[in-house]
Amino acid sequence: MPENLSQSQEDYLEAIYNIAGEKGVVRVRDIANEKSVSMPSVNGAMKRLVKQGLIKHNRYEYVELTKKGRTYAERVAGRHVAIKTFLTEVLGVDDKVADLDACSIEHCVSETTIEKLVDFLNERKS
């Protein structure tokens, strides 16, 4: 797993993962709309992610996560869900605020903390 990804690169992987889950296919313009950035910004990010072996993408074609990219994106998305769930269900934070906060927090919390957070949430459901 590449541990040297920037927050922005993690966000791109998460966006690709989420769009693929919603639409089945991912286009550069879908990513640009999702992240509210320009198409050239997305294209630059896609080139970097291709070089790292995290996505497959040729100009004017769909964007697809590689197996390694999907694994990484699932991990980032899972962190986001766990943090957002904690913020909304335990702390009572508004859904939109919790989503924005989770996006910021997910990049700087250790795996150990996330595991304990998930354990805590699972114990509450029991």
Query: 3-37: per-residue pLDDT in tens?
Result: 678 999 999 999 999 999 999 999 999 999 999 99
Is 2 within the bounds of a domain? no
Domain count, the chain: 2
HSE-CB at 118 with a 13 A cutoff on CA atoms is 14
Amino acid at 16: I
Query: Same structural domain for residues 67 and 31?
Result: yes
Task: List pLDDT tens digits, range 31-89.
Answer: 999 999 999 999 999 999 999 999 999 888 999 999 999 999 999 999 999 999 999 99
pTM equals: 0.88
Gap between the Cα atoms of 23 and 11, Å rounded: 18
Spacing of C-alpha 111 from chain mean position: 15
Chosen domain end from 72, 91, 113? 72
Kindly tell me if the per-residue pLDDT of 112 is higher than 60.
yes
Residue 30, both tokens: 């879908």
Whether residue 17 is found in the same domain as residue 35: yes
Sign of CA dihedral 42, 25, 71, 53: negative
Contact yes or no for 72/2 (Cβ under 8 A):
yes
3-state secondary structure of 93: coil
Domain containing residue 22: CATH number? 1.10.10.10
Q: Which domain holds residue 82?
A: 75-125
Q: What is the CATH number of the domain that holds 94?
A: 1.10.60
Residues 68 and 120 in one domain: no
